[in-house]
Structure 1
């Protein structure tokens, strides 16, 4: 049967429409997928007036000023450049410490202090919209940074020593000299163009996706360029400045430190003419200076005659400065720059007056809340001490969960400033311990030395092992059906006399690494973990095993005479 003509016409019309739809869809798909948009959008910094960038990220506060008047927000400097910088509200001061400098900069003042000497700033610190801003002059002098400021946009790119920049180079089209390379807002071809770049133009590459690079222009604007139109080129590394150490502590003659603390409780120092020989001793630390009040006033027990004796014996004097183990007084004295500096200046004047070679800091029983202030005190103290040629050391307890006796030490931060750190490796079982035990068993000592070196990165060359010249006689007795434990501290010699008098035989305890003796006194049982040549030799072997800086003994006068030759022989080896 013959199809009517008008029906055939309608069929062809339908097919043509269908074909047009298919072709239109295909064209639309091709346009959407393969034809980039030429739409442009003005680049911006999201409302930031003078942005600061670091490693391709825009920081949350802008800079102020330009060129030599450029200023950076305190928060940005602290976060990105120097986390140890502090702002003291009470005095409206910014305090910056480096290895050899302490700067105090008061807001809105052109005169600052460096190592307590005045200097003049070109531009002051100022508060803008409630935020503190620091001028770049002292920052560029103190830190190894580079600030690249765009004349076009004012954007600031922060660079630190050791940073590496990957530069990319846009494509070249020799037959199309006017062709540009688009930098788009997002990594796809339909994203608007933020900038048309010249051929062979350099940009910083911060990251990459399968077909795109995230880039930044020298003017700070950021976007994406197709990998087809950009290739990686040179890398730039911000050079590291090799700084000579500002201070190298004087080394005792034999290379290893053999220090003993000498306890002074009254202004009358001991008669040095009655001291027995102490062969090998090369540093003494008399307990001369003590915190006397919360204002930072020090009590001074120093004696020039004692110093003369030490120097005549070729022994250095590192006088000890104690907080008196008074937490409240310590909190007050550490609370402000002025109080901390008052303590430091007194120590400096005493060091000069008595011809000291060093200061040994002994702060104990300190509130955990004062942890940062104690660290800051040491940061402020060391540059000024070094300027006067003084060695600075500090005593710390083994690590534990005790808030007042351990947790307040930021050992990792402290060692950045200190020349030496003494670990007081004793009182494992303390005077009022409910259980009898060793003052300092060898496994416990080694565990705590290793913990400091591993967890807090204390270099062996800065770590001095504190050793006890005393032990405890423990007494156990049964009272009301319960065992009561008490103890008394004794010199090293005292147990030896007891052993002879009572004809006792010490036994070696492998689990403690030392000799042990016990005896009955009526219904009471006495126990002594002996401090003798055996225990001291084991400790000195640890110094050798870990190549520590030396030993520090608590305290002179508690030891048996033979100990000195043992220490000397071991350290000499």
Structure 2
């Protein structure tokens, strides 16, 4: 009985094998062309190949090829922001901003209406964009498969490996002779090699089929390199030396320039003239023509500071309104070009963490427009760590990829309301901040922001809690601190860990402490610029310094 069962099993196996062989020999003899009724798209990058089927992914309508936002964003890394409430999509590259206004049916390329780009399609499933009209702007290429709604798309940075078929051969569904035949590739036909897996090569045929052929069936293999991706470098650098920037803090009135001393080595000034006024994109302005005339007369570059007024609710409403963002950008460009400014310094602080991505979107929309008008773009960021609203909302890497310069604000280690006394910017804390930002921003874009002020800390025993000191502080410039240090009973010590002099004295029943910013401490911070080959320094803010500081900085970094 066992022998009979064994014989039957062998017979069945032989029969099955014979069937598979016959199936593979006789099933498909037609050329390898895609034959599905649904439209489809193959998306190829250096790292991956994906295939999508259905009109929710690709459509061929009105002589245009529309591809979904999700494919463009997720597979090709194209930056697209779509606002459903306003039916506006904004597509950004390092060089251009393309705005699609849904119901209005208009398209803007940078600041001008264009008819060279078709409207977007808004469907129940997604938003779709015409890649045939956009390919030169978003760095993609594509080819249509003959006689069928199928497209092969790739970014121009991807490498390609092409080959010819050496004799008529079958293309298989998998890496085995036993898998299904997908068709026949004729002798001398071109294929693109996607990957090489043992004796098999995964290929795309001219007919849009993805499958496998034996490597020994390929010849004339030719590797074609993709376009080299260009990193965006600053549009302006000093002709010699490093950038020495100082911020000009303007409150209700601009400074009397007759009283501003010579600032040795300074080549950029940034007056705090512009701030966000309301959520519609209106801007408050404190511009002084006299100050501009004074600055230009001394060959200073002027990068006007634009802040979000440090108001998180206002910033949230503004950033999430594409009309407001565009309005503000147009006003900023017009204002800066009209007064003869050289650039902008973006100072957005106290921003909700939920606005992290949309803040980057705003910077992506602003920067190409600024560049087309010859304006340098810099942005201020804090040291990594800290709270959501004051640190974590910055996408430092994304910002660094877009702007010309990133100014790292290495101050307020111990802030005005700190519960304990301490340095505003100890040297170790500053250096760690630099090393942290260099993980995300290239050295040639990084400006080291340092304080020209310090804090006088006052500590008194608490009358409410035992063993607790009540700590208060006031910010002082260097000249005021020098006056304080002339008091009697002052103790002055060098704090090697802080890289600063430490001063302590008792007055009016309270302990007073200062970690002093002076020429020696600024010299140590300036040396970090050479150590890490940074783009330069930025100082907050002019008027807090003693006259020797500019010589100290210029001597060290230039």
With the length of structure 1 as denominator, give the TM-score of the two structures. 0.88
Which residue number corresponds to residue 388 of structure 2?
403
Separation of aligned partners in 1, 2:514 and 2:68: 61
Structure 1 residues 86 and 523, CA gap change in structure 2 (3 angstroms) = same
Stretch deviating more after TM superposition (61-70 or 384-393): 61-70
Separation of aligned partners in 1, 2:490 and 2:221: 79
Which residue number corresponds to residue 179 of structure 2?
191
2:218 is the alignment partner of 1:231? yes
User: Does the CA contact (< 8 Å) of 2:491 and 2:505 recur in 1?
Assistant: no
Which residue number corresponds to residue 341 of structure 2?
356
Structure 1 counterpart SS, 2:25: coil
Structure 1 residues 334 and 21, CA gap change in structure 2 (3 angstroms) = closer
User: Does the CA contact (< 8 Å) of 1:492 and 1:532 recur in 2?
Assistant: yes
Which deviations, in whole Å up to 9, do the C-alpha atoms of 1:393-418 show, x marking residues without a partner?
A: 11111111411101111111111221
Structure 1 residues 403 and 167, CA gap change in structure 2 (3 angstroms) = same
User: Does the CA contact (< 8 Å) of 1:204 and 1:216 recur in 2?
Assistant: yes
Instruction: Note the residue ranges of structure 2 that are not aligned, 5 or more in a row.
Output: none
Which residue number corresponds to residue 206 of structure 2?
218
Count of residue pairs the alignment pairs up: 546
2:169 is the alignment partner of 1:181? yes
2:465 is the alignment partner of 1:476? no
Structure 1 residues 368 and 48, CA gap change in structure 2 (3 angstroms) = farther
Structure 1 residue 541, shift from structure 2 partner: 0.4
2:261 is the alignment partner of 1:272? no
Structure 1 residues 337 and 317, CA gap change in structure 2 (3 angstroms) = same
User: Does the CA contact (< 8 Å) of 1:187 and 1:212 recur in 2?
Assistant: yes
User: Does the CA contact (< 8 Å) of 1:170 and 1:202 recur in 2?
Assistant: yes
Structure 1 residue 307, shift from structure 2 partner: 0.6
Structure 1 counterpart SS, 2:119: coil
Which deviations, in whole Å up to 9, do the C-alpha atoms of 1:292-316 show, x marking residues without a partner?
A: 1111111111110011111111112
Partner of residue 326 from structure 2, selected from 341, 347, 351: 341
Instruction: Note the residue ranges of structure 1 that are not aligned, 5 or more in a row.
Output: 1-13, 173-179
2:112 is the alignment partner of 1:117? yes
Structure 2 counterpart SS, 1:277: coil
Which residue number corresponds to residue 151 of structure 2?
156
Separation of aligned partners in 2, 1:357 and 1:22: 85
Which residue number corresponds to residue 443 of structure 2?
460
User: Does the CA contact (< 8 Å) of 1:109 and 1:124 recur in 2?
Assistant: no
2:433 is the alignment partner of 1:448? yes
Structure 1 residue 184, shift from structure 2 partner: 2.8
Structure 1 residues 32 and 130, CA gap change in structure 2 (3 angstroms) = closer
Structure 1 residue 198, shift from structure 2 partner: 2.1
Separation of aligned partners in 2, 1:108 and 1:392: 33
Structure 1 residues 24 and 294, CA gap change in structure 2 (3 angstroms) = closer
Structure 1 residues 505 and 483, CA gap change in structure 2 (3 angstroms) = closer
Structure 1 residues 210 and 554, CA gap change in structure 2 (3 angstroms) = closer
2:479 is the alignment partner of 1:490? no
Which residue number corresponds to residue 38 of structure 1?
25
Which residue number corresponds to residue 3 of structure 1?
none
Separation of aligned partners in 1, 2:256 and 2:6: 115
Q: How does 1:386-401 map to 2 (within 5 A)?
A: 386-401=371-386
Stretch deviating more after TM superposition (301-310 or 407-416): 407-416
Moved over 4 A (4+): 17-30, 32-36, 41-48, 208-211, 241-245
Which residue number corresponds to residue 64 of structure 1?
59
Structure 1 vs Structure 2 CA RMSD: 3.0
Which residue number corresponds to residue 5 of structure 1?
none
Separation of aligned partners in 2, 1:18 and 1:277: 104
Structure 1 residue 560, shift from structure 2 partner: 1.0
Which residue number corresponds to residue 550 of structure 2?
564
Separation of aligned partners in 2, 1:408 and 1:326: 14
Separation of aligned partners in 1, 2:486 and 2:211: 86
Separation of aligned partners in 2, 1:210 and 1:398: 49
Structure 1 residue 320, shift from structure 2 partner: 0.9
Separation of aligned partners in 1, 2:37 and 2:385: 47
Structure 1 residues 302 and 436, CA gap change in structure 2 (3 angstroms) = same
Structure 1 residues 190 and 269, CA gap change in structure 2 (3 angstroms) = closer
Structure 1 residues 206 and 366, CA gap change in structure 2 (3 angstroms) = same
Separation of aligned partners in 1, 2:329 and 2:68: 30
Structure 1 counterpart SS, 2:412: coil
Structure 2 counterpart SS, 1:38: helix
Separation of aligned partners in 1, 2:331 and 2:276: 11
